[in-house]
């Protein structure tokens, strides 16, 4: 059973004059034609009598290019200068979007993060928002203008430009929506919404009408990256209901909001696949207090984030520890193991392989049993071997051979009835 559509209802209650925040990502403002198209959509919303704040990203590829140039000049660029550089991408698109709106006869004005009073901590390239004054945005809206806000940027207490981490324009949009108490926040992107699985891998994946913040976060951490996770966390904290929708068509998207009782009827709302995991097995560890602490402290000190962990004790009273790390960190993780356990007697690296992680996510798992059994059975029927398992309240993940990943996603999706049109 799919969740009941609710958005039409919610959106019908919008006042004739509502304050709407629309965020357009890098692909949506990727070139001059796309910017024109965004301007036309913004004009429609504005013509309907709404106040509109538009948050834009840099054109797609621009931030990556800027980073590459910085690194070509200096492998460890100064972070303050990095932010000075990266903020340029969004500053280009706000001005161009304002000009495109002017060409359509829409009064519009651009604002940088600093001009919008987005105050952050001083942690350059990954700053956290501390406060938003909004600058003169409300006054500009009241004067009938569309305000175009640069995503991804703010300023530290000492006035220096900061950026909010990759994908940070999502956070800018959610945060300004919270600060202005917007009636609606739309994250306009290159997909139609949040799906039950990646439609490129699972052809009968369905768009979800609604999803809980927590599910969205678990799906993101399991490989379905639709939005910056920090933005979703911020929305959850400040109860900003938002919609993920396409910037290329007018189909309703997915509403992301607090968990509702009706959501519990659906046991699994989505299947996620992460093909960039590596599994590391350390064997012959001494079975005594402090062994795990030593290993995971060393990994934490190397800034390697560990996902699944399994430990078991053999009959010889030696422990085996299996854990997963992002694939990019596999060599660094191997090095940490080798230096933490330098001699064979104290533990040794037994295996380090790439694996894929398939996860099922749903708030309904809290109140339903048998989810793990159904997941394992679906994989068994497809002859797929499970190497490790981890669970949370609303997620079960399995580590499997990368070659089985896509089949696994499909059979699991089908087993939980997610492809049914109902």
Contact residue for ligand ASP among 50, 63, 115, 186 (CB under 6 A): 63
Residue 30 binds to ligand ASP (criterion: CB under 6 A): no
CB of 55 to Mg ion, least distance (A): 11
The two tokens of residue 414 are 């089908």
Per rule CB under 6 A, is residue 134 in the interface with ligand ASP? no
144 to 163: interface string for ligand ASP, x by CB under 6 A: -------xx-----------
Single residue of 57, 120, 196, 221 touching ligand ASP by CB under 6 A: 57
Select from 42, 58, 178, 418 the one that contacts ligand ASP (CB under 6 A). 58
> Quick check: 389 and 323 in contact, CB under 8 A?
no
Span near Mg ion by CB under 5 A; candidates 26-34, 79-87, 102-110, 193-201: 26-34
**In whole angstroms, how close is the CB of 25 to ligand ASP at the nearest point?**
6
| Cβ 171 to ligand ASP shortest distance, Å | 8
Selected range binding ligand ASP among 164-172, 180-188, 352-360, 403-411, rule: CB under 6 A = 164-172
Give the binding-site size for Mg ion (rule: CB under 5 A).
3
Q: Residue 154: which of ligand ASP, Mg ion, none does it interact with, CB under 5 to 8 A by kind?
A: none
Rule CB under 6 A: is residue 169 a binding residue for ligand ASP? Answer: yes
Which two three-digit tokens encode residue 370? 């048998």
- Least Å distance between CB 229 and Mg ion? 13
Applying CB under 5 A, the span of 25-33, 124-132, 289-297, 369-377 interacting with Mg ion comes to 25-33
| Partner that binds at residue 63, options Mg ion, ligand ASP, none, CB closer than 5 to 8 Å by kind | ligand ASP
From 168-176, 190-198, 212-220, 364-372, give the range in contact with ligand ASP by CB under 6 A. Answer: 168-176
Q: How many CA atoms lie within 13 A of 113 on its CB side?
A: 36
Task: Examine residue 399 and tell whether it contacts Mg ion (CB under 5 A).
Answer: no
CB 247 within 8 A of CB 190: yes
CB atoms within 10 A of CB 215: 26
Q: Which stretch in 55-63, 260-268, 296-304, 341-349 sits in contact with ligand ASP by CB under 6 A?
A: 55-63
Indicate which single residue of 36, 102, 166, 348 sits in contact with ligand ASP (rule: CB under 6 A): 166
Q: Are 93 and 100 in contact (CB under 8 A)?
A: no
CB of 60 to Mg ion, least distance (A): 7
26 lies in the site for ligand ASP, by CB under 6 A: yes
In the complex, the smallest distance separating the C-beta of residue 153 from ligand ASP, rounded to whole angstroms, is: 9
Stretch that binds Mg ion, among 21-29, 95-103, 186-194, 243-251 (CB under 5 A): 21-29
Chain residues binding ligand ASP by CB under 6 A are 26, 57-58, 63, 89, 151-152, 166-170
Chain residues binding Mg ion by CB under 5 A are 25-26, 57
């Amino acid at each position: 059973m799919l969740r009941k559509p609710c958005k039409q209802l919610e959106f019908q209650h919008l006042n004739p004059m509502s304050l709407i925040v629309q965020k357009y990502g890098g692909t949506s403002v990727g070139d001059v034609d796309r910017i024109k198209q965004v301007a036309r959509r913004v004009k429609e919303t504005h013509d309907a009598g709404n106040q509109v704040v538009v948050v834009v990203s840099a054109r797609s590829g621009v931030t990556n290019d800027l980073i590459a140039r910085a690194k070509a000049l200096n492998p460890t660029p100064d972070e303050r200068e990095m932010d000075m550089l990266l903020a340029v991408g969004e500053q280009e698109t706000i001005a161009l979007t304002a000009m495109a709106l002017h060409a359509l006869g829409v009064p519009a004005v651009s604002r940088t993060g600093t001009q919008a009073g987005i105050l952050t901590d001083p942690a350059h390239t990954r700053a956290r928002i501390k406060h938003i004054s909004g600058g003169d945005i409300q006054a500009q809206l009241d004067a009938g203008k569309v305000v175009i806000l640069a995503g991804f940027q703010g300023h530290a207490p000492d006035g220096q430009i900061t950026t909010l981490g990759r994908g940070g324009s999502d956070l800018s949009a959610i945060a300004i929506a919270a600060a202005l108490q917007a009636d609606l926040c739309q994250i306009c992107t290159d997909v139609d919404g949040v799906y039950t699985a990646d439609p490129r891998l699972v052809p009968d994946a369905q768009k979800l009408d609604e999803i809980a913040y927590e599910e969205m976060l678990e799906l993101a951490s399991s490989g379905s990256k639709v939005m910056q996770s920090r933005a979703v966390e911020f929305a959850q904290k400040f109860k900003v209901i938002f919609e993920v929708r396409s910037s290329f068509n007018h189909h309703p998207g997915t509403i992301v909001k607090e968990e509702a009782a009706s959501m519990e009827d659906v046991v699994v709302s989505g299947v996620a696949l992460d093909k960039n995991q590596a599994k590391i097995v350390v064997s012959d560890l001494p079975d005594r207090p402090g062994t795990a602490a030593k290993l995971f402290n060393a990994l934490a000190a190397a800034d390697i984030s560990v996902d699944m962990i399994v430990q078991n004790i053999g009959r010889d009273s030696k422990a085996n520890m299996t854990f997963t790390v992002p694939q990019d960190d596999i060599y660094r993780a191997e090095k940490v193991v080798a230096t933490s356990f330098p001699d064979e007697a104290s533990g040794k690296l037994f295996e380090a392989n790439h694996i894929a992680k398939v996860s099922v996510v749903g708030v309904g798992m809290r109140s339903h049993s048998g989810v793990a059994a159904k997941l394992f059975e679906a994989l068994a029927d497809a002859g797929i071997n499970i190497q490790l398992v981890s669970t949370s309240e609303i997620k079960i993940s399995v580590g499997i051979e990368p070659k089985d990943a896509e089949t696994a996603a499909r059979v699991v999706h089908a087993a939980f009835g997610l492809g049914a049109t109902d």
